[in-house]
Amino acid sequence: MIRILNNCFRLLFIARTLARHDALFFLDDFDRLPFYIKLGRKFFPIFAIGASRNPDLRDGQRLANALQELGPSFIKLGQALSVRSDLLGEERAQDLGNLRDNLPPFPFEKARETIEYELQKPLEELFTEFDSEPVAAASIAQVHFAKVRETIAAPTAEDPDATAEIETEVAVKILRPGIEKAFETDVQLFFWLAGLAERYQPGFRRLRLIKIVETMADSIELEMDLRLEAAAASEMAENFADDPEFSVPEIDWQRTAQRVMTQSRINGISISDKSALIAAGYDLDALASNVIRVFLHQVLRDGFFHADMHHGNLFVGEGGKLVAVDFGIMGRMDRDTRLFMAEMLYAFLTGNYRRAAEVHFEAGYVPAHKSLDSFAQACRSIGEPILGRPVNEISIARLLVQLFQITETFDMETQPQLLLLQKTMVTAEGVAQSLQTNINFWEVAQPIVAHWMRENMGPEAQVAQVVNDGFELLKKIPAIVNKADRILTELEDRDGAADQAADYRENDINPKARNLYLATGALLGALAAYLLMLAL
């Protein structure tokens, strides 16, 4: 009861804020609402003192402004909703996609307190210099520049064990004080609201609003431990260790803990500063293509991608190398999902709409009772207008947005693992197009996708997968034999002592156990023959 009352009071504050920004429009989309909400919807704007209605702003812009005022949890909610064009509409979703979490910084003394508590040393022992003013302040953390002194090996002919001290520039990320409790309170509210929405708007159930909140909650939980973000950066650095055109800051693990992360400082130009990039002589066409290439390698090759690739998190370093920062939001895709995405995109962009429909059915995303031909027709309605445009107007992001919009007609449930990918693809395409307006996502993506499909879906790849599956089964054989032994023991224990003696005199083993051993032997023989055939 106390939790419900707290939720209600918090909801009143939220409603008042939304009303002041004239952002309660989404309530009009509900078929039925409780009477008290309808009453509040009608009269609440009267009490919205200081209302800031601006007729020049779109619905999504007003909602984004309201969420920004409500604080970190609601900024994250807005970012999560920015991928749901099927729920909010394309224009509103795009407006929320521009939501940025630039917030006032917290005091330096709080930053010092967090660092010293987490790393168990005075600030002066950890850093030779530490800028008291943050360079960035976001919803969850803020970043300070600092310097550290390190001892490195510097052998000489006279002294092979000689060392030298160097000073290195670093960036230190620190969580906001009390942020965990603030998020926990609001996430519980989001679950409550999602449950109410699904209760009073049954059509929303297929959108899996509760699942959206769960996904957001999981993401926030990961972001609350900066050691996990550091590990994500380290993993991506390994994935691109041999790539001369992409890099990740190096993590200083000795100065990293749950609420503090230290990494090498990036000396580069923000990818949003187009004029500075031109002045530095960088090839914008090459940079735009590299953004798409890096994104596709993350998704298809590694199944592990940076899910927040907006302008503020991308820099251009020496030699035109793309450098990414902020690994708090990451996405993972298993091999089956990657195969689905690659084949679906390839089918769309080669005009094979029936195959585009088939892969949706094969993945189980469209219910089996729906018409394949009708879904292929719907796919054609999306693809033809896009593919019929000039090459510089074809948008992969728009294709995905429209594809998700037909989900209601075919009772498709929302696939949370694809929503984060959709959002990232839209963002990556937007970054590339901001550098070069004529860049075409598909022209850059097609050879990469085609190459990956040949390696992972061609005849050789299928044979390799079958062989791999065979060896995986072979590894399980000892466990199968052990299980057979356990079953044999159980069978022997069930027989009476007298029956056992008679059976053992007549046969070395009882008939049931004999059949079990014969079956196991047949399985082993068949598997050996199968692997031999593949090897030949």
Same domain, 120 and 89: no
Choosing from 308, 326, 485, 499, the catalytic residue is 308
The CATH number of residue 164's host domain is 3.30.200.20
Same domain, 322 and 355: yes
Contacts 24+ apart (CB under 8 A), 282-288: 282/316, 282/320, 283/320, 284/435, 284/436, 285/435, 285/436, 285/439, 286/320, 287/316, 287/320, 287/322, 287/435, 287/436, 288/431, 288/432, 288/433, 288/435, 288/436, 288/439
Residue 30 has a pLDDT of 58
* Separation between Cα atoms, residue 311 and residue 325, nearest integer Å: 10
Same domain, 58 and 200: yes
Same domain, 188 and 173: no
Mean pLDDT (the chain) is 78
| Pairing relationship of beta strands 246-247 and 304-306 according to DSSP bridges | unpaired
Same domain, 244 and 384: no
Same domain, 84 and 39: yes
Same domain, 143 and 95: no
Same domain, 241 and 156: yes
In DSSP terms, 129 is beta-bridged to: 147
Dihedral angle sign, alpha carbons of residues 377, 418, 370, 200: negative
Same domain, 336 and 469: no
Phi and psi, residue 57, nearest 5°: -95, 145
Choose the final residue of a domain: 425, 457, 489: 457
pLDDT digits (tens, 9 = 90+) for 318-331: 889 999 999 988 88
Choose the final residue of a domain: 403, 430, 457: 457
Residue 463 has a pLDDT of 44
* Separation between Cα atoms, residue 424 and residue 282, nearest integer Å: 24
> Considering its fold, how many domains does the chain have in total?
4
Same domain, 72 and 217: yes
Same domain, 359 and 445: yes
pLDDT digits (tens, 9 = 90+) for 224-247: 899 999 999 999 999 999 999 999
List the end-to-end C-alpha distance of the chain, in Å, as a whole number: 70
Active-site residue, 308 included = yes
* Separation between Cα atoms, residue 105 and residue 22, nearest integer Å: 28
Q: Which domain holds residue 478?
A: 461-535
In DSSP terms, 251 is beta-bridged to: 263
CA–chain centroid gap for 58, Å, is 28
* Separation between Cα atoms, residue 121 and residue 468, nearest integer Å: 50
Helix (H) or strand (E) holding 15: helix 2-20
Say if residue 304's pLDDT is above 90.
yes
Q: 494: left (phi > 0), else alpha (psi -120 to 50), else beta?
A: alpha
Same domain, 383 and 403: yes
Residue 185 has a pLDDT of 80
What does pTM read for this prediction? 0.72
* Closest C-alpha to 251, from 130, 168, 166: 168
